[in-house]
Amino acid sequence: MRALLIRDLRLAMRAGGGFGLALSFFLLVAVLVPLGVGPEARVLALIAPGILWIGALLACLLSLDRIFALDFEDGSLDLLVTAPMPLEGVVSIKALAHWLVTGLPLTLLAPVLGVLLHLPGPGYGWLVVSLLVGTPALSVIGTFGAALTVGLRRGGLLMSLLVLPLYVPTLIFGAEVVKRGALGFDTTTPLLLLAGITLGAAALLPFASAAAVRINLR
Amino acid sequence: MSIWEYANPVKFMRLSGALLPWVAIPAAAALAVGLVWGFFLTPDDFRQGSTVKIIFVHVPAALMAVNAWFMMLVTSLIWLIRRHHVSALAARAAAPVGAVMTLIALITGAVWGQPMWGTWWAWDPRLTSFLILFLFYLGYIALWEAVPDPETAADLTSVLCLVGSVFAVLSRYAVNFWNQGLHQGASLSVAPGERMDMTYKLPLYLCMVGFALLFVALVLLRTRTEIRARRIKALLARERMA
């Protein structure tokens, strides 16, 4: 399992385009929004939590098709399916690798972009915490979407249509944590619900993803 | 004799063919009577005026929008567990009907909301969750269309339906939480049922029955179409082989 994780990480780092691309996209969203909305600090501060979460979510979405596509093309996915390791484990590791190369850097970059968007002071801690807790769910759910569309030509657009509605609860609770944190309210409830979604998705969705991969490789 | 016998397409075709007029005609009758009764023979509401009458389309459509997804969930489970093709095709047949029901509920809601709330759209929990449900329908239909192999498509959409159901329910309650967290007290939800007078309730029930029968009739019809399409494809394939 560790070998697979290291292999995936190495591929993501060296193949280019995957690792930096999501981060650049996140940065671009944070730059484009003030250009579209106007530079007024009060307005930006109001929408900053939502924009940062949506940016993270879209950046995550952008790199999802790489989770299985390369392995599917060169046939190593077939080997992984027939390997002695349970496919559920393989899928979880792939989600973890995806999170390590997108979710985690996004989390670390987010406070910087928060400055750009005039996020109110107390919001920064909650932004990092909520992304840290919530982005794993994005990776796990996204892996499921990637597994559904793995064999398809031009599956990318379809995958967005499948995955984005599944992101709704994560987005709502994640943005709510930051919003409440920025205003100085209690964030326990949305944070716990967000953690619940992440843990539930991480525990159950790999089974669905593995089933989808098996169906697609039949 | 068990219900699983109708998993056999031939038997299903025979039964559904016989059943179809017995569902379609009562559906048309219930809808005709219910809608005419509701639209023309009920008094205007003392506060909402005649706009209240859109309830006779709005509520039944919303009811069937949710139940269509539930039916897809059940048929998907039957397909995954017992692998009856008719079941998978019924799920496929129900999806566009459910999507249209969702759309009807949304549009009639907007038409109703405009004079009553002064806006076509509000980010009310119910409205939002219906919009999300519509997106789920779109994704489900798109996946059916995108996968060329019918068996793979049936499997994948069934898995999506199961996962989607969980997330649809999650979204429903997340949206509740989201709105209450933002606009406290600004409740825009319509409160049907309990407070309604019998003069409205009876035609509403009739319309609900009509919509339910209409849904069953449409799903039967579309499932029959799907089965026939599958047969044609098999015949063409056989012809090419020969």
Token reading at B52: 């209240």
Q: How far apart are CA A125 and CA B82, in angstroms?
A: 50
- Which of chain B's residues have a Cβ under 8 Å away from the Cβ of A212? 156, 159
- Counted across chains A and B, CB pairs separated by less than 8 A come out at 77
Which pLDDT value is given to residue B182?
A: 38
Q: Which residue among A151, A169, A193 sits closest to B167, beta carbon to beta carbon? A: A169
ipTM for the complex? 0.87
What CATH number was assigned to the domain covering residues B25-174+199-241?
Answer: 1.20.120
Select from A57, A74, A66, A58 the least CA-distant residue to A143: A66
Q: Any CB–CB contact under 8 A between B102 and chain A?
A: no
Q: Is A207 helix (H, G, I), strand (E, B) or coil?
A: helix
Query: What is the DSSP-derived secondary structure letter of residue B149?
Result: S
Instruction: Return the beta strands (E) in chain A as ranges.
Output: none
Q: What is the largest CA-CA distance in chain B?
A: 72
Task: Scan residues 104-143 of A and list those with Cβ closer than 8 Å to B.
Answer: none
Q: How far apart are CA A193 and CA B48, in angstroms?
A: 39
Instruction: Calculate helix-pair angle for A188-216, B150-182, nearest 10 degrees.
Output: 170
**CB-based contact B146 A211, cutoff 8 Å:** no
**CB-based contact B163 A208, cutoff 8 Å:** yes
A46 against B26, higher pLDDT: B26
Place of tokens 């709330």: B117
Token reading at B233: 């494809």
Task: Scan residues 51-80 of B and list those with Cβ closer than 8 Å to A.
Answer: none
**CB-based contact B177 A208, cutoff 8 Å:** no
CA distances from A65 to A18, A72, A85, A143, A163 (A): 10, 11, 23, 9, 11
pLDDT in tens, A1-44: 778 888 877 777 776 656 678 888 888 888 898 888 888 888 88
Query: What is the DSSP-derived secondary structure letter of residue A120?
Result: -
Q: How far apart are CA A39 and CA A42, in angstroms?
A: 9
**CB-based contact A161 B142, cutoff 8 Å:** yes
Which pLDDT value is given to residue B180?
A: 58
- Answer yes or no: are the C-beta atoms of B37 and B203 closer than 8 Å: yes
pLDDT in tens, A63-103: 888 888 888 888 888 888 888 888 999 999 999 988 988 88
pTM here is 0.88
Q: How far apart are CA A132 and CA A105, in angstroms?
A: 10
How many degrees, rounded to 5, is the angle at CA A106 between CA A120 and CA A144? 125
Report the share of chain A in percent with pLDDT over 70. 98
- Domain with A69, as residue range(s), is 2-216
- Which of chain A's residues have a Cβ under 8 Å away from the Cβ of B146? 149, 152, 155, 158
Give residues with Cβ within 8 angstroms of B31, minimum separation 6: B207, B210, B211, B214
- Which of chain A's residues have a Cβ under 8 Å away from the Cβ of B129? none
Q: Which residue among B132, B156, B178 sits closest to A165, beta carbon to beta carbon? A: B132
**CB-based contact B156 A164, cutoff 8 Å:** no
Q: How far apart are CA A135 and CA A49, in angstroms?
A: 14
Token reading at B223: 């499932």
- Answer yes or no: are the C-beta atoms of A137 and A201 closer than 8 Å: yes
Q: pLDDT digit of tens for each residue in chain B (242 aa)?
A: 577 777 788 888 888 889 999 999 999 999 999 888 888 887 777 667 777 788 888 888 988 999 999 999 999 999 999 888 889 999 999 999 999 999 999 999 888 888 877 778 878 787 888 899 999 999 999 999 888 888 899 999 999 999 999 999 888 888 877 765 433 333 334 444 445 667 777 888 899 999 999 999 999 999 999 999 999 998 999 999 87
Which pLDDT value is given to residue A16?
A: 61
- Domain count along chain A: 1
Give residues with Cβ within 8 angstroms of A207, minimum separation 6: A88
Q: Which residue among A148, A169, A179 sits closest to B156, beta carbon to beta carbon? A: A148
Which pLDDT value is given to residue B179?
A: 67
Q: How far apart are CA B59 and CA B71, in angstroms?
A: 18
Q: Any CB–CB contact under 8 A between A193 and chain B?
A: yes
Counting runs of H as helices and runs of E as strands, what totals does chain A give? Answer: 11, 0
**Mean pLDDT, chain A, whole residue set:** 87
CA of A175 vs chain B CAs: smallest distance (Å): 9
